[in-house]
Amino acid sequence: MSVNILIVTQTKIGKSLLKGAEVTYRKLPIKAKAFCVGCEGDPENLLPKLEKQVEELDDGDGVLILTDLFGSTASNIAHRLKESFPSHVKIVAGLNFPMLIKAINYADEPLKLVANKAVAGGREGVHIEE
């Protein structure tokens, strides 16, 4: 089993990043889905849809939820998911492609470690080219 990933973003950027990961791996070694909050209508009605996504993704090792921007609508909805699944969900905000790849690479580890690796990957993947 492994930690699976739910990407929750305000726009379709999450779907684009997930597609990039699918191209990189050819076939993802985990289950992953992307959900566009801004594409689905009223955010207040989205929680049940996202709860269903978590239930479908959780194979017992938990679900890492990656959001685009801390404090955004997507991030706030993700935090409400944590209330529904306190021990099976970790949330990381600030999604970028290196973060997603790192999370996938370490998905066989415990959920907390996958979340920490995702944060490290996101930070390490940002550089200023001189």
**For residues 68-88, average pLDDT:** 91
Task: Kindly report the CATH number assigned to the domain that includes residue 88.
Answer: 3.40.50.510
Q: Is the pLDDT of residue 1 over 90?
A: no
**For residues 101-105, average pLDDT:** 98
* Cα gap 39→1, rounded to integer Å: 31
Number of domains in the chain: 1
Is 106 among the domain residues?
Answer: yes
Which domain does 70 fall in, by range? 4-125
**What is the three-class DSSP state of 85?**
coil
Strand order in the sheet with 4-9: 32-36, 4-9, 63-67, 89-93
Tokens of 31: 């289950």
Is 42 among the domain residues?
Answer: yes
pLDDT band at 114 (very low <50, low <70, confident <90, very high): very high
Is 91 among the domain residues?
Answer: yes
Tokens of 70: 């801390």
- Exposed/middle/buried for 41, CB within 10 Å: 0-12, 13-18, 19+? exposed
pLDDT single digits (tens) 7-47: 999 999 999 999 999 999 999 999 999 999 987 767 778 89
pLDDT for 108: 98
Is 130 among the domain residues?
Answer: no
